[in-house]
Amino acid sequence: MERMFGRPIVTQEQMRARIREMGRQISADYAGKDLVLVGVLKGAYAFYADLARAIRIPLRVDFIVVASYGSGARTSGKVKQVTELTEDIKGKDVLLIEDIVDSGLTVQYLVKSLAKKKPKSIKVCTLLSKPERRVVDVQVDYVGFKIPNKYVVGYGLDYQQKYRNLPYLAVLDQTGDQGE
Ligand SMILES: O=P(O)(O)OC[C@H]1O[C@H](OP(=O)(O)OP(=O)(O)O)[C@H](O)[C@@H]1O
Ligand code: HPA
Ligand SMILES: [Mg+2]
């Protein structure tokens, strides 16, 4: 396939294999439970669709829209929740599905906010984690890939709303530095 952008740091094949493994693990861990997958849009849409189909137990789907990065490559530090859940998650086993945990602020905000709805459990599953960038300590239960401190795009992740449709993960520019 002709490359649309940049050099893949995680290829389509690596994504496919890892997501299959994650699906297997989650299917085993949640067997017999009342699982609701809560996807964090927009970024998680591609991972969510692939992961949900790799999970082989009954589940419900739901989504929440948040934004904190606006048009830049750095978090504004303020998480804005744009939509509400449509499912009642009280007493259910919620798995929050993220594309990336970077500063950790989005996950921290969402776990606190969803806990108020009294689910039986809440865990966090992310395709990518950038541990070097954490500003808050959050528990992440399932991680697809740990990645270095570079701004990445593709597979759902954007820069100024573009590149989400790349079928692989690429570093944004030659240095990929996010700065401080
Ligand atoms: O750990 P953090 O520093 O909070 O960063 C991670 C969050 O930031 C991105 O969302 P963004 O606000 O860019 O919205 P988007 O999903 O529409 O791209 C990403 O999809 C995560 O939800
Ligand atoms: O590295 C990233 N790329 C795209 N969106 C993001 N949101 C947090 N970190 C990132
Ligand atoms: Mg974004």
Pick the residue whose CA is nearest to atom 8 on ligand 2.
102
Q: pTM (2 decimals)? A: 0.93
Cis ω on the peptide bond leading into residue 42 (within 30° of 0)?
yes
Ligand nearest to the CA of 69: 1
102 is catalytic: yes
SS3 of residue 166 by DSSP: coil
DSSP summary character for residue 155: T
Distances in Å between the Cα of 60 and the Cα atoms of 20, 24, 64, 172 are 19, 17, 14, 34
pLDDT at 2: 47
pLDDT at 73: 65
Per-residue pLDDT tens digits for 11-67: 999 999 999 999 999 999 999 999 999 999 999 999 999 999 999 999 999 999 997
Cβ of 151 below 6 Å from ligand 2: yes
Among 9, 157, 165, residue to substitute to test ligand 2 (most atoms within 8 Å of Cβ):
157
Phi-psi sector, 127: left (phi>0), alpha (psi -120 to 50), beta: alpha
Using an 8 Å Cβ cutoff, are 93 and 36 in contact?
yes
Per-residue pLDDT tens digits for 106-165: 999 999 999 999 999 999 999 999 999 999 999 999 999 999 999 999 999 999 899 999
Pick the residue whose CA is nearest to atom 20 on ligand 1.
43
Instruction: Quote ipTM for the complex.
Output: 0.98
Cβ of 152 below 6 Å from ligand 2: yes
Domains identified in the chain and CATH numbers:
13-151 (3.40.50.2020)
Q: How far does the centroid of ligand 2 lie from the alpha carbon of residue 31, in Å?
A: 32
